[in-house]
Amino acid sequence: MAKKKTRRQMPPRRPPQRQVLPPPPAGAATMPQPVRSRESRFVTTSRAAEPTNWAHEYRYVIQDLKRMALTSALMFALLFGLALVVPLFLR
């Protein structure tokens, strides 16, 4: 019989502790912070409005895909050639 492996037990998870903020001083006037959406934090530029030439941006991807297609075609041709030649030597 194989030796039984014992798993180390993980400690129980504790909920995250909440940070309690002290109340503001009695005489201090508090101004509410403006709520900003995620979109308003980013500045749009005129460059983003220009059309993107995807062929230029991803030319390395296209080159890699062509190279992989050529490599796979050559490997397929090699396998096909071996499938025809190997039975001749095994007779």
Please report whether residue 33 resides in a domain.
Answer: no
Residue 86 has pLDDT above 70, yes or no: yes
Please report whether residue 18 resides in a domain.
Answer: no
Please report whether residue 84 resides in a domain.
Answer: yes
Do residues 57 and 63 touch, judged by C-beta distance below 8 A? no
Q: What is the pLDDT of residues 25-81, one digit of tens each?
A: 776 666 666 666 655 555 555 566 678 888 888 889 989 999 999 999 999 999 999
> How many residues are listed for the chain in this entry?
91
Tell me the helix, strand and coil percentages in the chain, rounded to 5.
45, 0, 55
Please report whether residue 44 resides in a domain.
Answer: no
pLDDT score recorded for residue 38: 59
Do residues 62 and 55 touch, judged by C-beta distance below 8 A? yes
Q: How many domains does the chain have?
A: 1
